[in-house]
Amino acid sequence: MANLYLSFEVVFPLMVYMLIGYLAAMMKLWDEENAIVVNRVSFTIFLPILLFENIRAVDLDLGVDYRLIIFGIVSILITIGILYVVIPRIEPENSRRGVMVQGIFRSNFIIFGMVMTKTILGPAELGYSALMMVILIPLFNVLAIIALEVFRPDEGMGERGTDARKFDWARIAKSLVTNPFIITSTLGLFVLFARVPVHPLISTVTGGLGRAATPIALAAMGGCFRFDGAKNCMRQLIISLSGKLLLMPIVWLTIAAVAFGFRGEAFVCLLTLYAAPVAVSSYSMAQQMDSDGELASQIVVYSSVLSIFTIFWITFITKSLGLF
């Protein structure tokens, strides 16, 4: 019973925040355009500050589990390698191939990860998750851009859309350098390793903004939910959701626990990484790179909603097995 209650505790705030945003849209308190603006503000200001706060709070005296970080990176790279082979064989349209690839490997770690880790382990145990985010956020952005560029539906791509093509590396570099998560991550790492003291007045402000980040981001996500486009891409949606919400966590968490023996905080960090739905920014990125924006939108919506149920059961099963 205790494990069931813990699992419910993990998903309850996620569910309520998104539901509030969705109901606010139904009550015409805001429309999709307003929710998108709020979401942009959240991703530009609130969430980067939350990441900064969690990074600078890491206790370096406890050490860094580099094995965990390497496992996370390698697992994502292997997943993408497999998707580059499988997706072109089951999806004929280039405009949807890149969207499906990023829809399976890309995780909304920044929002869901913090909430889940804090609920499962407590607010004092966010170190591994914060450090993983520093590495994975730029990695996710680069790999998503490459996937969408490889399968961009133009310029005479080959039959399966995997021919080599010229990348705009300057644009990719610019998007990374100006990414607010990367900026605040860098600042947070500097403050952490240089042991720079933060004035109490500043920490009061950043702490308050950080605490507001997750509710605002999830509510804005709920306000953007539209379920009427699924009928146009049902097969692609089912494939993407199965890979994202079922195969990714089942395969990689099993390998992490059985082959590498990850337990406790390290295992919870991986659980939140693999079980979280696809990142919201994947929708806007797909639109900007001439991919199927409707499919990307539906993957965001349905993975966010259905992850409530998959996260519940994955948390319950792994907790019952004594993995954390």
Q: 69-89, pLDDT tens digit by residue? A: 999 999 999 999 999 999 999
Q: Is a pLDDT exceeding 80 seen at residue 275?
A: yes
What are the tokens at 268?
């919870």
What region does 60 belong to: left with phi over 0, alpha with psi -120 to 50, or beta? alpha
Hey, where are the domains in the chain?
2-319
Q: Is a pLDDT exceeding 60 seen at residue 165?
A: no
pLDDT-derived band of residue 244, with 50, 70 and 90 as boundaries? Answer: very high
Closest by CA position to 110, among listed 249, 217, 243: 217
Q: What percentage of residues in the chain have a pLDDT greater than 70? A: 91
The CATH number fitting domain 2-319, selected from 3.30.1660, 2.60.40, 1.20.1530, 1.10.760: 1.20.1530
Neighbours of 212 (CB within 10 A): 15
- Give ∠ CA 290-293-296 in degrees, rounded to 5: 125
pLDDT tens digits, residue range 257-270? 999 999 998 999 99
- Give ∠ CA 113-117-119 in degrees, rounded to 5: 120
Q: What is the DSSP string of 115-131?
A: HHHHHHH-TT--HHHHH
- What pLDDT is stored for residue 125 in this prediction? 60
Q: What percentage of residues in the chain have a pLDDT greater than 90? A: 46
pLDDT-derived band of residue 309, with 50, 70 and 90 as boundaries? Answer: very high
Whole-number mean pLDDT of the chain?
A: 87
CA 220/CA 222 separation, integer angstroms: 5
Prediction pTM value: 0.84
- What pLDDT is stored for residue 133 in this prediction? 76
Closest by CA position to 212, among listed 42, 44, 23: 42
pLDDT tens digits, residue range 25-64? 999 998 878 888 888 888 889 888 988 887 787 777 666 7
pLDDT tens digits, residue range 109-139? 878 877 888 888 876 566 677 778 778 877 8
